[in-house]
Structure 1
Amino acid sequence: MATTPTRRLVYLGWHGFMNFGDDLLRDTWQAALTDDLSLSAPLSRRDYVSQAPRVAMDRMRTAGAERLVLLGGGTTVGFANWAGHARRAQLAYDAAGILIPGAGAAESTDTFALGLQEQGWSDWADLSGVALMGVRGPLTARECAANWMPTPVIGDPALLYPALIDFSGEERDETTIGVALGADPESRFDPHVVAEALRRISMAERIDRVKVFALSSSDREGAERFARMVGPLAEVITFEGDVEATMRQIARCGLFISERLHGAVAAVSLGVPTVALSYASKCDDFWLSVTGARSPITVGHSADELLAEVRTVREPAYQAYVAAEVESLQGTLGRAAERINRWLAGQSSTTEVLHPTTGSSPI
C-alpha cells in the first residue's frame, strides 16, 4: 500500500522583528494549520548567506517531504522585492509552489507605499506554481485583476485569530480607550489632535484609562510621548512578542483608535468599536473589506472629524454590520486553512491545492 509523503509548509513573512502585525499573521496561521511552521524562509540574499546552515539543516530534516511556501500576508503582492523573497524561498527549499491566502497589494495611486518599495508585477507573473487563494481586500483584488490574475477577497488572515483562540473571558471595559499611533520615526497623524479628541471624550463620559499601544519597537518612544501628552489616565502597553497577551489587552478596550493597520484588524476581529487612521491604501483595502467604505479619517483630520467617527463606529447598526462582515471573512479564511490542511493530511494532491479544478471554489 502506497504511503502519502510528508508535507511541509515553508513560512514566508516579516515576523520575529517585534512587530505585532507580522507576528499576529504568523501566529494566526500557526493556530489554524496542522503544520507547526517551524520552517521559516529567510528574506534577502544576505539573510540566506548568514542563515545557510539553518536552511541546510531544514532541508536535511525534511528530506523526502513535499514542500510548499506559505506567504503569510501583509502588503507584499505586487512588490518586486517580495517576488524575489518568494522565488528564493521556493528554490532554497525545493518547494513545488507558493500559497498566498489573504495577502495585500498597494493601490496603483498609493504614493506612500510605492515610495517605499518598487512594484514588479511581471516578477510575480514569472513565479511558478502560485496559488493565489484570495486577497485581503477589494483594492488588492482590483490590482491583481489588472496586473496579474483575478482573485476573490477572503480578508486579512489576522481576522481569523479570535476564531481560533478563546477570548470569551475578556470583558470589554467601556471606560478604557486604546490608541495605537505608528512611528516611522514619527506618527503621520498629529498626536495633539488625537489627544484633544480624547480630552473631549473624557469630558463627555467616564474614561478611566487610555491604553497607549506600542505595537512595534519603533513605536515605543512615540507612545511614551503621547502618553505624557494625554496625562495621568494614560498607560503604555508595549508589544514584547506575546501576540495573545496583546490581543487580550485590546479585547478589554471599549474603543480602539489605530494608525497601525493590524491594531485596527485586531480590534475589529475582537468586536471592539474601531476608528482606523488611514495613511495608505493598505488601510483602506482592509477597511473596505469590513465596512464597504474607505476610512474617513486620513492624515490632516480634525478633532471634530475624529469625534464624529467615534460616534459612528459606536452605533449598534454599524457594529452589527461590521461583525457580520468579519464573520463572513472568517468563514472564507477558515476554508482557505481547511484547503491547506487537507493537503498537509494527504487528502488532496499538490496539483489540486495549487490548481483547483475549473468551476470549484478557490478556497
Structure 2
Amino acid sequence: MKKLLYIGWIGFNNLGDELLWHIFRDKCKEYLNEDQIEIIPSVPGTDMKNVEQYDAVILGGGSLLLPGYLQILQNALHKGKSVMIWGSGIDWIEKKNLDLLMNDQLLSMEQNFKQKDIEVLDEVIEKALFVGVRGPLTKKAIEIMLGSEKANKIQIIGDPGLLLEEPDPNKLQAKEKLIGINWGTTFNRLYGGNESLVEKQLVEAAKKLIESGYKIMIYSVWGDDRPHCDRLFEKINVPESVILDKNLYTEQQLIEKLSKCTATINFKLHANYLSFAANVPAIALGYRFKIFDNAASLGLEQLVVSTDSQQLTKEILERIEIIENSGEEILEQYQSSKKKYQPLLESLFTKNFLA
C-alpha cells in the first residue's frame, strides 16, 4: 500500500484549512483505489521531519510556501520520495511590496526568503512531480526569486476551495435582505497594523447597512474568532437587526446558512469560498497578501477592501452597491473561474501523479 503525507495547517479547528484537507481526502476517494493508498494528514503530533515511512508528500492548500515546509519537501526529495504542491500559496508579503509586485516593480523577495531559502525553493520546484500554486501573485513572487524560465514549470491552478461541493438546491434558503459578516482576529498581523480600527469601521458599515434596510448575520470559521464576533455584535448594538451565530459549522452546513444572504463581508480567506459556493457574492477584507493573490486568481479584485484603507466603511458600502447592481455578473465570473481551474486542480488525481 502506498502511503501519502498530506501537509496542511489542520487539527486547529480552523474551518478554512480543514475544508482544504477534506476536499483532498474526498478527491482521493473519488479518483483513487482506497485499497492501494493510505493518506496521513499532518495533524498535531505527526512527525513531518521523518518522511521515511511515506512514498509521497503533498503540500496542500493554504499559505504554506514557507521556508519550513519547503525544507520538509526538500528532505523528502533527498530521501527519494515523490513531492507535489497542490494549490499552496505565498503570504506574509508586506503591503508596500504587494503594491510593487502588482505594478511589476518589486525586485527582491529578500524580506521573506533568504538566499538559502531560495535555494531550497529552487530545488523543490525543479524536482517536484507537480507544482500547482494558488494564484498569479504567488507565481510572480517565485519568478522574482528563481527567474521566469525556472518558474515555467509552475501552474496556477487556483485554490482547492473552488472544489467545494455546491449544496442540494432543495437545502438552499430563500434570499433575505441579509448581509453575512465573518469576523475574527489575526492577532493584529494585518495590513495597516490596526485590527481595532478595522473593527470600528466595520461597525460603522454594519450600522449604515441596517439603516438602509439590511439585517446582519455575524459568523465565524474558527473557534478563536468567537470572542471577536461577540464584541462586534455588542459594538453594533442593534440586537433586533443582528444575528450572532456562534456555532462552528461544517462546510456544507455553513454554505446552507449563508445561502439566504444577499452578500457577505469576510475577514478569513475561505469564508469567501463558502459564500460563493452558496451562490452569494463575497467582499473580501484584504488583510494579507493571500487575499489579493486569491482575488487575482478569480478576476474579482474589485471586491477586495484593503484593511489599511482609511475609508474602509465607505469602500465596503461601495462594494455592496456593486453587488446590488451586478451580483449575477459577479457570480458568473466566479463560475467561469471555477470552470477554468477545476480540471487543473483535479489533474493531480486524474493524471496519475498519486498512483
CA displacement 1:248-294 (0-9 Å, x = unmatched): 22333221001111112321343212111112111111111223536
Question: Measured at CA, do residues 279 and 204 of structure 1 come closer, stay the same or move farther in structure 2, by a change above 3 Å?
Answer: same
Which residue of structure 2 aligns with residue 161 of structure 1?
Answer: 164
Question: Measured at CA, do residues 47 and 87 of structure 1 come closer, stay the same or move farther in structure 2, by a change above 3 Å?
Answer: farther
The percent of aligned pairs where both chains have the same amino acid is 19
Deviation for aligned residue 1:154: 1.9
Aligned equivalents of 1:69, 1:188: Cα separation in 2 = 40
Aligned equivalents of 1:278, 1:204: Cα separation in 2 = 25
Residue 34 (structure 2) pairs with residue 32 (structure 1)? no
Residue 140 (structure 2) pairs with residue 142 (structure 1)? yes
Q: 2:60 aligns with which of 65, 68, 72?
A: 72
Matches within 5 A, 1:1-363: 6-34=1-29, 38-41=39-42, 48=47, 59=53, 67-77=55-65, 79-87=66-74, 96-106=81-91, 109-110=94-95, 120-127=117-124, 129-148=127-146, 149-150=151-152, 151-163=154-166, 166=168, 169-185=171-187, 187=195, 190-207=198-215, 210-230=216-236, 231-232=238-239, 233-238=241-246, 240=248, 242-293=250-301, 295-299=303-307, 300-316=310-326, 319-343=328-352, 346=355
CA displacement 1:130-171 (0-9 Å, x = unmatched): 1344321111121123324232322111011125x6465213
Q: Which secondary structure does the structure 1 equivalent of 2:158 belong to?
A: coil
Question: Measured at CA, do residues 344 and 306 of structure 1 come closer, stay the same or move farther in structure 2, by a change above 3 Å?
Answer: closer
Say whether the 8 Å CA contact 2:179–2:214 is kept in structure 1: no
Question: Measured at CA, do residues 326 and 142 of structure 1 come closer, stay the same or move farther in structure 2, by a change above 3 Å?
Answer: farther
Aligned equivalents of 2:19, 2:247: Cα separation in 1 = 11
Say whether the 8 Å CA contact 1:155–1:330 is kept in structure 2: no
Say whether the 8 Å CA contact 1:7–1:344 is kept in structure 2: no
Say whether the 8 Å CA contact 2:135–2:294 is kept in structure 1: yes
Aligned equivalents of 2:244, 2:80: Cα separation in 1 = 43
Q: Which secondary structure does the structure 1 equivalent of 2:13 belong to?
A: coil
Say whether the 8 Å CA contact 1:185–1:218 is kept in structure 2: no
Aligned equivalents of 1:264, 1:306: Cα separation in 2 = 15
Say whether the 8 Å CA contact 2:263–2:280 is kept in structure 1: yes
Q: Which secondary structure does the structure 2 equivalent of 1:253 belong to?
A: coil
Deviation for aligned residue 1:319: 3.7
Aligned-partner residue type, residue 91 of structure 2: A
Question: Measured at CA, do residues 166 and 298 of structure 1 come closer, stay the same or move farther in structure 2, by a change above 3 Å?
Answer: same
Deviation for aligned residue 1:216: 1.6
Unaligned runs of 5+ in 1: 1-5, 347-363
Say whether the 8 Å CA contact 2:57–2:82 is kept in structure 1: yes
Aligned-partner residue type, residue 289 of structure 1: S
Q: Which secondary structure does the structure 1 equivalent of 2:156 belong to?
A: coil
Which residue of structure 2 aligns with residue 356 of structure 1?
Answer: none
Deviation for aligned residue 1:243: 2.8
Question: Measured at CA, do residues 123 and 167 of structure 1 come closer, stay the same or move farther in structure 2, by a change above 3 Å?
Answer: farther
Question: Measured at CA, do residues 204 and 146 of structure 1 come closer, stay the same or move farther in structure 2, by a change above 3 Å?
Answer: same
Question: Could you say what the CA RMSD is over the residues aligned between the two structures, in angstroms?
Answer: 3.4
Q: Which secondary structure does the structure 2 equivalent of 1:9 belong to?
A: strand
Aligned equivalents of 1:235, 1:260: Cα separation in 2 = 19
Question: Measured at CA, do residues 295 and 280 of structure 1 come closer, stay the same or move farther in structure 2, by a change above 3 Å?
Answer: farther
- Please say which of residues 259-268 and 180-189 is displaced more in the overlay: 180-189
Aligned-partner residue type, residue 131 of structure 1: L
Deviation for aligned residue 1:226: 0.7
Aligned positions, number: 321
TM-score (norm 1): 0.75
Aligned-partner residue type, residue 242 of structure 2: A
Question: Measured at CA, do residues 38 and 202 of structure 1 come closer, stay the same or move farther in structure 2, by a change above 3 Å?
Answer: same
Question: Measured at CA, do residues 42 and 217 of structure 1 come closer, stay the same or move farther in structure 2, by a change above 3 Å?
Answer: closer
Deviation for aligned residue 1:310: 0.9
Deviation for aligned residue 1:38: 3.8
Say whether the 8 Å CA contact 1:180–1:212 is kept in structure 2: yes
Aligned-partner residue type, residue 42 of structure 2: A
Deviation for aligned residue 1:117: 6.6
